[in-house]
């Protein structure tokens, strides 16, 4: 039996480096289990459908290299990688909102299930949605117009009428309304100052009712 290079006595064994992967709705994450990889010497290259990772192996003269032909397309300019003491982590941005059934080779489209509402933008970074801006000046004008057009009824209509008279009336009208209302205990409201200005305004309860003072 012929010997391979790894079988030659005295030849240092080449470290076996494992890699694994998992996915989210928008990413495929590839992890390379190299401990204490030198972050400044790790090289990662992304293609539309390929991934290349290379790194020196600590405490060894060997170089690690991973070349993958991916099952589906990715968006290279949205991919990132991170080197931590326990591994190299590469995050690949999916181009389509699909669940990958395998990392490499030709993906079987019939077995792939679309991910509902996956947040994927094939053309580049996510664009902020159009912000709906309210025209508050117009809304305020519309509310005032509605209030003016609304026709109150009953006591509300009467109060609205008194408020309008008081607001638009002369000083004599306001004095007459105040004096008559206060002196009559709220039973008389007059706008004629010549009439109510001479004497105290007597209480005039509605027909059928009798005014009584509250006694402790």
Domain range annotation of the chain? 16-96, 153-205
pLDDT at 126: 47
pLDDT at 178: 79
**What is the second-level CATH architecture of the domain 16-96?**
Sandwich (2.60)
Q: Is the predicted pLDDT of residue 43 greater than 80, yes or no?
A: yes
Q: Is the predicted pLDDT of residue 67 greater than 70, yes or no?
A: yes
Average pLDDT value over all residues in the chain: 74
Which residues have C-beta within 8 Å of that of residue 120, sequence separation ≥ 6? Answer: 25, 26, 94, 95, 96, 97
pLDDT at 117: 45
pLDDT at 155: 60
49 touches 70 (CB < 8 A): yes
Q: What mean pLDDT do residues 91-108 have? A: 86
The residue with greater pLDDT, 185 or 153, is: 185
Whether the model pTM is above 0.85: no
The residue with greater pLDDT, 84 or 11, is: 84
pLDDT-derived band of residue 89, with 50, 70 and 90 as boundaries?
Answer: very high
């Amino acid at each position: 039996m012929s010997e391979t290079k790894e079988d030659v006595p005295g030849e240092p064994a080449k470290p076996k480096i494992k890699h694994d992967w998992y996915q989210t709705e928008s990413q495929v994450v590839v992890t390379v289990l190299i401990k204490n990889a030198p972050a400044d010497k790790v090289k990662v290259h992304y293609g539309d459908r390929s991934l290349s990772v290379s790194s020196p192996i600590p405490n060894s003269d060997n170089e690690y290299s991973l070349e993958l032909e991916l099952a589906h397309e990715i968006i290279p300019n949205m991919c990132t990688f991170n080197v931590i003491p326990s591994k190299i982590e590469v995050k690949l941005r999916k181009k389509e909102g699909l669940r990958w059934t395998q990392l490499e080779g030709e993906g079987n489209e019939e077995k792939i299930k679309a991910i509902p509402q996956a947040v994927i933008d094939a053309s580049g970074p996510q664009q902020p949605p159009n912000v709906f801006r309210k025209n508050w000046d117009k809304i305020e004008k519309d509310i005032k117009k509605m209030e003016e057009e609304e026709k109150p009824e009953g006591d509300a209509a009467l109060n609205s009428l008194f408020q309008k008279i008081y607001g638009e009336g002369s000083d004599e009208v306001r004095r007459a309304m105040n004096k008559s209302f206060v002196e009559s205990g709220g039973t008389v409201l007059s706008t004629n100052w010549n009439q109510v200005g001479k004497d105290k305004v007597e209480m005039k309860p509605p027909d059928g009712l009798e005014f009584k003072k509250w006694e402790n």
